[in-house]
Structures are given as structure tokens and as C-alpha cells.
């Protein structure tokens, strides 16, 4: 770009700052053009392929993929005594109990303690229970909660598979007798009447 500026001819800088008139460097214009193309490209892509660029859409894909990866093996679980019991007793399903433990650590330890020994919520490692009488009651309490006991309802926060796994993990803590909160409620029969437990 030719230096066509005549400023210095009719403006001696009384304020003491002179102005050079170097043109913009060559790389600058090239880089600006490339960036403009990229900017338009990114905008164009978000208009024609929102499924690729929209974070909500990619989140949905991630959830689906994760559910498939995570639960393809076990399918959709229902909170029955048989299902819950199988996760507690079957050593081959021990991996799923670890998933239940992770859900427990993320959501339950603020009241039940990291070892299940109870903080403001009851101790889960003893034989005393407030509302629970049999195995399915554990899942029902997780699902519906109990305002009187201060237990939140989790049916909107966790998926049914997650509820089953966390209930199985919580039930499996029974019998550990970790020192913690004093027993609340009444002693109940073992989960599996047939076993020596």
C-alpha cells in the first residue's frame, strides 16, 4: 500500500508524538483473510449441522452411548428382590456393585457417611432399620424418599438402573457393623432368610 498520507505536511506535532506510517505487514492481511474464512466456516457449520456443533446434541449422543456401553450387559433393571439379591450375592456381578458404590459416594455419603456408618442419616451397616423391612423396601426408600426421616426422593435424579445398583450396594453394607451412628429403628430379619446370614 503506497504511503499516501500527508499528515506530517500540515500538522507539526506540537504534542511531541510523531506518527510513522508503516503499512500492515503482509502476513497480517493473509492471516486475517484465513481467519475470516474460518469464522464464516464455523458459523456456517453451526447453521447447517447443528447436530455436530450443538453441545446439547453431543451430550445426548454421549448419554446414549454411555447407557449402551454401561447397561447393554444388564439391560433395563427392575427393583425386584431377585434382581437386587443377585447383585449382592453373585460374585460375577461384583463389578456392578462397584458402580453402585460410585453412585453411593456421589450422592449419599453426605448423610450416610463414606463407609455407610451414618452421619445425619442412619447407619446402614447394622441390623436396625427405620422403614425397611425387606430388600425391596431399600429400593422403594431410594425412589420415594421419606420426608419424616429426612431421606430425599431420588426418582428424578437417578435412572432406574442406577437406583437398583445403589440400592444393592447400600443393602450389601449391612452386616459390616462399622462404628458410627447409634442404631435407629428396629432390628429386621436377614435379607436372605435361607442363608446363614
Partner 1 sequence: MSSERRQDAAPAGPAGSTGLWLDDGPTRRFLAACWVWGLAALALATLAGWSLLHPELADDRPALGFGRLRPLVEMLLLHGFLANGFFALVHHSTQRLCCAPMAAGLLGRVHLWGWQLALAWATWTVGGGALEPRLLSPAEAPVDLALAGLWTLFGVQLLVTLTRRRQRYMYASLWFYLAATLLFGGLQVTATLASFHHPIFGVPLFSGAADAALQWWYVRNGAGALVVIGLFGVAYDLAPRIAAAPLYSYRMGIVHLWSLLLIQLWVAPRHLHLSPSPGWLSALALAFAFLVWLPSASGIFNLAATLRDGRQGQGEREPARAFLVAALFFFALAAIEEPVLALRRMSAAVGSTDWVEGHQEMLFLGWGAFVVFAGSYWIAPRILHAPLHSPALARAHFWLATLGVLTSAAALRFSGAAQAGVLGALSPDGHLLHPEFTEAVARVEGHRLLHVAGLGLFLAGALVGAWNLLRTWAARPSAYPSIPVTEPPLEPMAIAEEAPAPPAGAVLDGGRRLQVFCTLWWHRRLERRPLRLASWIVVAVGAVAALQLGPLLRAEPTAVASLTPLEAYGRSVYEREGCVTCHTQAVRPLLADTKRYGAISTSSDPVERGPALWGTRRVGPDLAREGGRRSTRWQVLHLDDPRAASPGSLMPSYRRLLERPRDLPRLVQRSGFTKRPEWAADAAAAQAAALTAEFEAQHGAPLLRPGAGAPAALEGSEAIALVAYLQQLGLPSSEIPFSTAASEQP
Task: For partner 1, give the closer residue by CB, 4 or 195.
Answer: 4
Count how many Cα atoms sit within 13 Å of the Cα of residue 174 in the half-sphere of its side chain.
23
Task: For partner 1, give the closer residue by CB, 20 or 91.
Answer: 20
Q: Are 129 and 123 in contact (CB under 8 A)?
A: no
The values of phi and psi at residue 6, to 5°, are -115, 20
In the complex, the smallest distance separating the C-beta of residue 189 from partner 1, rounded to whole angstroms, is 26
**How many other C-beta atoms lie within 10 A of the C-beta of residue 15?**
5
The residues that touch partner 1, with contacts defined as CB under 8 A, are 1-2, 4-5, 7, 10-11, 13-25, 28, 31-32, 35-36, 38-40, 42-43, 46-47, 50, 53-56, 58-59, 62-63, 66, 69-70, 95, 98-99, 102-103, 105-107, 109-111, 114, 119-121, 145, 147-153, 156-157
Task: For partner 1, give the closer residue by CB, 96 or 191.
Answer: 96
Q: Return left, alpha or beta for 24; rule: phi > 0 is left, psi -120 to 50 is alpha, else beta.
A: beta
Residue that has been written with the C-alpha cell 435412572 in this structure: 159
Instruction: Classify 182 as helix, strand or coil.
Output: coil
Cα(107)–Cα(134) distance, integer angstroms: 23
In the complex, the smallest distance separating the C-beta of residue 175 from partner 1, rounded to whole angstroms, is 24
In the complex, the smallest distance separating the C-beta of residue 86 from partner 1, rounded to whole angstroms, is 18
In the complex, the smallest distance separating the C-beta of residue 164 from partner 1, rounded to whole angstroms, is 14
Task: For partner 1, give the closer residue by CB, 78 or 102.
Answer: 102
Sequence-distant (≥ 6) Cβ neighbours of residue 101 within 8 angstroms: 169
In the complex, the smallest distance separating the C-beta of residue 155 from partner 1, rounded to whole angstroms, is 10
Task: For partner 1, give the closer residue by CB, 63 or 78.
Answer: 63
Amino acid at each position: 500500500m503506497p504511503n499516501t498520507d500527508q499528515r506530517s505536511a500540515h500538522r507539526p506535532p506540537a504534542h511531541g508524538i510523531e506518527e510513522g506510517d508503516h503499512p500492515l505487514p503482509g502476513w497480517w492481511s493473509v492471516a486475517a483473510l484465513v481467519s475470516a474464512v474460518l469464522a464464516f466456516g464455523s458459523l456456517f457449520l453451526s447453521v447447517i449441522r447443528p447436530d455436530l456443533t450443538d453441545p446439547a446434541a453431543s451430550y445426548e449422543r454421549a448419554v446414549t452411548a454411555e447407557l449402551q456401553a454401561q447397561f447393554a450387559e444388564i439391560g433395563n433393571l427392575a427393583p425386584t428382590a431377585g434382581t437386587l439379591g443377585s447383585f449382592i450375592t453373585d460374585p460375577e456381578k461384583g463389578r456392578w456393585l462397584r458402580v453402585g458404590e460410585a453412585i453411593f459416594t456421589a450422592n449419599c455419603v453426605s448423610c450416610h457417611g463414606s463407609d455407610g456408618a451414618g452421619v445425619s442419616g442412619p447407619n446402614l451397616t447394622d441390623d436396625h432399620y427405620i422403614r425397611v423391612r425387606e430388600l425391596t423396601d431399600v429400593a422403594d426408600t431410594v425412589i420415594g424418599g421419606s420426608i419424616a426421616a429426612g431421606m430425599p426422593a431420588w426418582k428424578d435424579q437417578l435412572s432406574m438402573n442406577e437406583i437398583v445398583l445403589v440400592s444393592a450396594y447400600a443393602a450389601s453394607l449391612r452386616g459390616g457393623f462399622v462404628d458410627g451412628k447409634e442404631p435407629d429403628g428396629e432390628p429386621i430379619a436377614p435379607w436372605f432368610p435361607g442363608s446363614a446370614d
